[in-house]
Structure 1
Amino acid sequence: MSIKLPPSIVRAPVPVAIPAYVAGEKVIQSLFTGPTGPEDLAFIEDSLKGLELKAAGKLFSEYQRRRKQYKAKSANIWLRMAAGVAREQQERFPVSLKRINEEKRREEVAREWAGQVAAIIDNLTNGFTTTQPAAELLAAAMAPARQWGFSPVLPDLSKEVTDKHLDHAASALARLQDDSWWLRQIRRAYQRHQELIAIMSGDVRRGVSPYVSHRAFMEYRANKTAQARWLADMLVVNEEEELELSLAEAHAASVSNPEVRRVELMVRMRGFEDLAWEQGHAAEFYTWTTPSRFHAWNTVKADRGRSVRNKRYRGTSPKDAQAYLCKQWAKARAAMARAGITVYGFRVVEPHHDGTPHWHMLLFVAPDQRDELRDILGHYACEHDQGEIKNNRSARFDVLAIDPEYGSATGYIAKYIAKNIDGHRVGDDYEAEAQASDTAINVAAWASLWGIRQFQQIGGPAVTVWRELRRLREAVQDPLIELARRAADAGNWAEYIGSMGGVSLPREDRPVKLAHLVIPCASKYGEDLRRLVGVTSAGGCSMRTRLDGWTVIRKSKVLGCGERSELPLSGGSRAPWSSDNNCTGQIELPPLAAELARAGLDSVDRARMESGAVVVVDGLYHWIRDGRFYQSRHRPQFGRSPAPNGNNAWAESREMDRCQQHWLKRQAMAVLIGQLQLDDYIKGAFDTFQAVHILKTVLDKERREAPASFQQNNHLLRLSGFVSSCQSQGDAL
């Protein structure tokens, strides 16, 4: 029996207040007025909990769009997947994303983690007083970087360890202690994380922003604009040869110019085709695409190419997709080598509208090897996730035999090359539904952001030798160089290949190679600097293609005046140059003057900083303390931690510097009395410039206290000569 209550007693349900904003995004109230609205809002809040605000805002914005267009259930399913992937990506970072979402915060985190590595090394070496096995020291120093997934190039210390391996390990340790190295890694990791969130939330796709998000596009364009302004404001000057030209003009004449790059690629491609025609080789055009799980968005051809979410997508990035294709290509190349198949040609990497890369390859092969080549490439292109392609492999692997009677191979690949450089005469970019001339910059931004190499030559000699030979305008005596020079000067790539030994000769066996000027231990990380200066032949003849003494200077507002802005572009006669220079003679160190030149500072600025001043140039703070040069976007706070939260990384770093200086002073005294070799002293120092500075201080003190005996001691005079040579090198730079 039911009892019916009078209307005065029945109460209407209490309406639930809908928030005005979720994750910083305005809530469309009408989407949540239904009976499931409160439950869905609670689900959304739970799904987005803990995510960075920017990422959560993007996901919620896309969620509302989906809820409006589709059913609420479909939007909820998408949000559960997207939020899960975003959380998984976020958890890869060992710090909160809030700490690295701005440049200032990233700089603080970079200093903190570089300090952690320095502290580990200091602890293991007892303040740099004891030695440790290189493998153990490197493994311990790598622990913080592995938390981020970062790593410099590491030597293989599992086998026989040589001096070269130890030098490599020392360079890796120097990078791990450098906050600027950490800053670059952290900045790139955060930018890629933000772009991956944009891909998942629909900001990167056809009809919205093809290839890259609008944010990434604007950042890339701003960087290019700033670069163009800098180029226009700089000159390259060679005082010895009395030459001067605009850096912008030099840039426009190099392969950095998209038009020059495109023309050179077409010349090389045409040369391969001419060579194939002469040898009767077949031309094959292959397209490789990744499995569906790498694609965030698909297109519906029946619905005017509308982009829709791919249910198989697993939250991978374009970098992951490129790594997958490279791995499959490595397997295919190994199989071709086992089968004795020789191919040559070009590979072009371009993005789908959602940023997922795919490959186009134009390869030339002997006709009797063509079928086996197809089988190998098809097998590895379709090796995984075969259920989604069934009997139709064309979605993953497409083959087209180029018939010369219907057109050239070069003409076929020309549009792919132009589309990914400047869009020259391509017309419509159907992938992006826009003009290729407009979307080419999107492709360039995509390649820059994800670190993807767009064009790769397969087989044949190195193009850098070709470029250097084209600098030689006059005939040379050496027949090997002259034969290759004539071909390069005429722009005949096919003839150049013949002069260099064919398409398959190993690089070390080529008759003409590059020649370099090597300056030992001259880089920031104590590595040898290899500067390209010319070419050398197997017959022993070397030809210089680049002049010494080039310097980059800033155009002055006052006519005829300028200020030094960068290092010289090529060295003088300070070090021997050869195709493979392994000179181990006198040690040449990176002087303080070189670091100051990079920052655009002159001798007047140096004197001010050495007296304790802080010099501000273009918003950057520069100072010198204890003979070392520092720069930052923020004013230094000497003697206290710059972080308001009690972080003492700066003070700890200063204390570590003092400990190292104390150890170096003791080592320098050992060098003076002959108990330690000079080479061992320099090699044992983490900062070679500081080691020379401290050695100079100790020598100056000895000279002041005992001038007569100092002048009669040949050992002290040789040490003094070494220090003087380092200082003169710094003044020259």
Structure 2
Amino acid sequence: MDRQPLPVTIPDYVAGVKVIQALFSGPTGPEDLAFIEYALKGLELKAAGKLFGEYQRRRKQYKAKSANIWLRMAAGTARAQQERFPVPLKRINEEKRREEVAREWASQVAAIIDNSTKGFTSPQPADELLAAAMTPARQWGFSPVLPDLSGEVTDKHLNHAASALARLQDDGWWLRQIRRAYQRHQELIAIMSGEVRRGVSPYVSHRAFMEYRANKTAQARWLAEMLVVNEEEGLELSLAEAHAASVSNPEVRRVELMVRMRGFEDLAWEQGHAAEFYTWTTPSRFHAWNTVKADRGRSVRNKRYRGTSPKDAQAYLCKQWAKARAAMARAGITVYGFRVVEPHHDGTPHWHMLLFVAPGQRDQLRDILGYYACEHDQGEIKNNRSARFDVLAIDPEYGSATGYIAKYIAKNIDGHRVGDDYEAEARSSDTATNVAAWASLWGIRQFQQIGGPAVTVWRELRRLREAVKDPLIESARVAADAGNWAEFIGSMGGVSLPRQDRPVKLAHLVTPCASKYGEDLRRLVGVTSAGGCSMRTRLDGWAVIRKSQARGCGERSELPLSGGSRAPWSSDNNCTGQIELPPLATELARAGLDNVDRARMEAGAVVVVDGLYHWIRDGRLYQSRHRPQFGRSPAPNGRNAWEEDRDLEQLQQYQLKRQAMAVLAGDLQLDEYIKNAMDTFRAVHTLETLLDKERLEAPASFHQSEHLARLSGFVTSCPSQGGAL
């Protein structure tokens, strides 16, 4: 008697997604389910669920064979992307888990430095130490900005290397990198699974859009609750109003871009230059989805797609543009104008460029740009390269160049008077937020000025309301105040003058070693001219407070604006020939220093207040988070002794922080930590800093920990140890 085959049980869920039973009721259903299980094996649950959801949609709309082919390719691409991460994705799919992983990898770097320096007792060559410390980061594809140590190594290179080492040991730096990498991976899976495209969610996934909107809502709520005050000048302003008046406001940003674009066009008209509009698009392998115009713009999967992200596509376009710029420089071609980057419906970026060029160089410019736009994958374009590189000559008789690019600028900012967005099949006013979320997620700069002076100088000059004696600054100020970008370009030396040769430049004050990573902080304070005149455009002494604290109750928010803690600088327009510093007495008072401290510092001492080191040199007060070393005689090897001490000082600080972290973790006794510390004050301060960070980042677990409470009590009971060192 023949046995009847046992019925196959179809699971209710696959990768957390409900199974549509009817799709697998046919004779190939069991085999297909086995194939799906094999294809999705090892993928993160979120990614597997998205792919299976798209698989069922395809199986329902097309044949099962087509859906199986798609799943095999999509799962392979997703697996390749997942294997870029050196840890399982489930370890970084939540913020608390990411924090744990960040601490682990920062500790790995600290251990590498500890071993390389034999417990911070043996100095090592900067290039070797940095290469060893970079090993964990390279497994992730992360990297801080690194110095070039291949040639002559200067103090600047060494300071840069020390800052890079500090970042690599900072769990906060690791957390930011890991969080961004995971978010972009999730978005890439959404692109592959069809969640980012026309008719579904253009430019970004719905999840990314909601996250961006929630962040903007929280930001707006915070801005509405805060004030910016300047007690020295008696000024008070709502932070929301300050934000609305700056280029952070989309409307202000759009208007400024249009003013600059119109200025370029006016200049081109005066000089008889031609206006050219170019569109650059990446090769097909960067596009996950295509549109079928014959079928009402329906989106279909692109078989040539190779799993690249919008960030990869933007990097490709930038590389090709760099080649084109080099070729233009060799040919002596000068161009100026604007570049606008906007996404296709699936998130792949493409460029629009409005460039002005001398008529005699126009054909050569087209050849250069066309060559590099179509340099790769030429088989897919054959004799028609308009899909990759499109050219349009702007005829003034039919409309202005500014009017032509206006819609591309507005579409990518706020959708002002654009109407419908045909790429997304929606109104531009509705999709502008999607575009902003896309640019924020992938870190893509939407607008880039090509040629001409820096816009920051223009913005700073517009802060000056009165005439200036210096003719160089005054001519540029008048043009900026009138909103005449063309005249401003003329006053700044033309469109092609190198930045270092411009007659008016930005002026900064530098606070040495003041950043978290021991870097100099550059603070914009005004402008300076080639004639030696410097003008102040910004006030010092600004602070951000909550509106509830506006009448003096409560603590101030530790969010200093451009002025930091320095005294305000007079903004009168009398040219002094140099930027005038605040009075030393005012600086000392604001830093909490008295005449006794001043006498000690003028005698060469360093005074510590609130964990900051203060010293006076050449009549100026300096502040730093690191102890300065100076005044030593040269060492026998040609290096200053203070330079060697500085390197050892940094290594000792690394070790102290690592030991303090061990105290917090319970791996090192507090008594032993304090007993072994060479500087008790620094040891307590380091421990206090880590406790404050833990309290802010994990308040619930902090208050529940008896161990952390005991450490906080110890730090609070320690007396202030400010004084001369």
C-alpha separation between the residues in 1 aligned to 2:605 and 2:53?
Answer: 60
The secondary structure found in structure 2 opposite 1:267 is helix
Is residue 541–residue 567 contact of structure 2 (8 Å, CA) maintained in 1? no
- Deviation readout 1:232-267 (Å, 9 max, x if unpaired): 111100000000000000000000000000000000
One-letter amino acid matched to 2:159: D
- Deviation readout 1:690-721 (Å, 9 max, x if unpaired): 5999xxxxxxxxxxxxxxxxxxxxxxxxxxxx
Work out the percentage of aligned pairs sharing the same amino acid: 83
1:99 aligned residue = 91
Distance 1:568 1:51, change over 3 A: same
Structure 1 segments unaligned to the other structure (5+ residues)? 1-8, 596-625, 642-649, 669-684, 694-721, 727-733
Displacement of 1:128 after TM fit?
1.6
Which stretch of structure 1 is more off in the superposition, 122-131 or 138-147?
122-131
2:384 aligned residue = 392
The secondary structure found in structure 2 opposite 1:181 is helix
C-alpha separation between the residues in 2 aligned to 1:587 and 1:24?
Answer: 66
1:377 aligns with 2:369: yes
1:417 aligned residue = 409
Is residue 262–residue 418 contact of structure 1 (8 Å, CA) maintained in 2? yes
The secondary structure found in structure 2 opposite 1:406 is coil
C-alpha separation between the residues in 2 aligned to 1:66 and 1:211?
Answer: 21
Displacement of 1:665 after TM fit?
4.2
C-alpha separation between the residues in 2 aligned to 1:660 and 1:342?
Answer: 64
Is residue 426–residue 436 contact of structure 1 (8 Å, CA) maintained in 2? yes
1:503 aligned residue = 495
Displacement of 1:126 after TM fit?
2.0
Displacement of 1:561 after TM fit?
3.1
One-letter amino acid matched to 2:124: Q
The secondary structure found in structure 2 opposite 1:404 is coil
2:212 aligned residue = 220
C-alpha separation between the residues in 2 aligned to 1:230 and 1:92?
Answer: 37
Displacement of 1:12 after TM fit?
2.7
One-letter amino acid matched to 1:439: T
One-letter amino acid matched to 1:24: G
1:231 aligns with 2:223: yes
1:730 aligned residue = none
One-letter amino acid matched to 1:198: A
1:298 aligned residue = 290
Distance 1:588 1:341, change over 3 A: farther
Is residue 415–residue 426 contact of structure 1 (8 Å, CA) maintained in 2? yes
Q: 1:109 aligns with which of 101, 105, 127?
A: 101
C-alpha separation between the residues in 2 aligned to 1:230 and 1:124?
Answer: 45
1:491 aligned residue = 483
Is residue 607–residue 723 contact of structure 2 (8 Å, CA) maintained in 1? no
1:455 aligned residue = 447
Task: State the superposition RMSD in angstroms.
Answer: 3.2
C-alpha separation between the residues in 2 aligned to 1:558 and 1:506?
Answer: 46
- Deviation readout 1:521-555 (Å, 9 max, x if unpaired): 11000101111110000011000000010011112
The secondary structure found in structure 1 opposite 2:423 is coil
Displacement of 1:563 after TM fit?
3.0
One-letter amino acid matched to 2:393: A
Is residue 460–residue 537 contact of structure 2 (8 Å, CA) maintained in 1? yes
Is residue 533–residue 578 contact of structure 2 (8 Å, CA) maintained in 1? no
Q: 1:171 aligns with which of 147, 163, 185?
A: 163
C-alpha separation between the residues in 1 aligned to 2:401 and 2:671?
Answer: 61
The secondary structure found in structure 2 opposite 1:514 is strand
Q: 1:289 aligns with which of 268, 272, 281?
A: 281
1:133 aligned residue = 125
Counterparts of residues 178-327 of structure 1 (less than 5 Å) = 178-327=170-319
Q: 2:64 aligns with which of 59, 66, 72?
A: 72
2:633 aligned residue = none
C-alpha separation between the residues in 2 aligned to 1:459 and 1:162?
Answer: 32
Is residue 541–residue 566 contact of structure 2 (8 Å, CA) maintained in 1? no
2:134 aligned residue = 142
- Deviation readout 1:45-65 (Å, 9 max, x if unpaired): 001000000000000000000
C-alpha separation between the residues in 2 aligned to 1:193 and 1:660?
Answer: 44
Is residue 517–residue 575 contact of structure 1 (8 Å, CA) maintained in 2? no
C-alpha separation between the residues in 1 aligned to 2:675 and 2:259?
Answer: 57
C-alpha separation between the residues in 1 aligned to 2:32 and 2:394?
Answer: 56
Counterparts of residues 560-575 of structure 1 (less than 5 Å) = 561-569=553-561, 570-571=563-564
One-letter amino acid matched to 1:29: Q
2:638 aligned residue = none
C-alpha separation between the residues in 1 aligned to 2:548 and 2:329?
Answer: 58
1:52 aligned residue = 44
Displacement of 1:499 after TM fit?
0.3
Counterparts of residues 579-618 of structure 1 (less than 5 Å) = none
TM-score, normalised to structure 1's length? 0.81
Is residue 232–residue 568 contact of structure 2 (8 Å, CA) maintained in 1? no
C-alpha separation between the residues in 1 aligned to 2:567 and 2:688?
Answer: 18
Is residue 285–residue 363 contact of structure 1 (8 Å, CA) maintained in 2? yes
Is residue 523–residue 590 contact of structure 1 (8 Å, CA) maintained in 2? no
1:339 aligned residue = 331
C-alpha separation between the residues in 2 aligned to 1:494 and 1:328?
Answer: 29
2:519 aligned residue = 527
Is residue 154–residue 168 contact of structure 1 (8 Å, CA) maintained in 2? yes
2:53 aligned residue = 61
1:85 aligned residue = 77
Displacement of 1:124 after TM fit?
1.4
C-alpha separation between the residues in 1 aligned to 2:537 and 2:463?
Answer: 6
C-alpha separation between the residues in 2 aligned to 1:31 and 1:21?
Answer: 13
Distance 1:497 1:414, change over 3 A: same
Displacement of 1:571 after TM fit?
3.8
Displacement of 1:13 after TM fit?
2.2
- Deviation readout 1:544-599 (Å, 9 max, x if unpaired): 000010011112179663531123321465899989x9xxx99999975789xxxx
The secondary structure found in structure 2 opposite 1:188 is helix
- Deviation readout 1:337-356 (Å, 9 max, x if unpaired): 00000000000000000000
C-alpha separation between the residues in 1 aligned to 2:357 and 2:2?
Answer: 85
The secondary structure found in structure 1 opposite 2:555 is strand
Is residue 554–residue 563 contact of structure 1 (8 Å, CA) maintained in 2? no
C-alpha separation between the residues in 1 aligned to 2:128 and 2:320?
Answer: 34
Which stretch of structure 1 is more off in the superposition, 297-306 or 570-579?
570-579
Q: 1:469 aligns with which of 458, 461, 473?
A: 461
Displacement of 1:14 after TM fit?
1.6
1:549 aligned residue = 541
C-alpha separation between the residues in 1 aligned to 2:91 and 2:11?
Answer: 27
2:616 aligned residue = none
The secondary structure found in structure 2 opposite 1:517 is strand
1:610 aligned residue = none
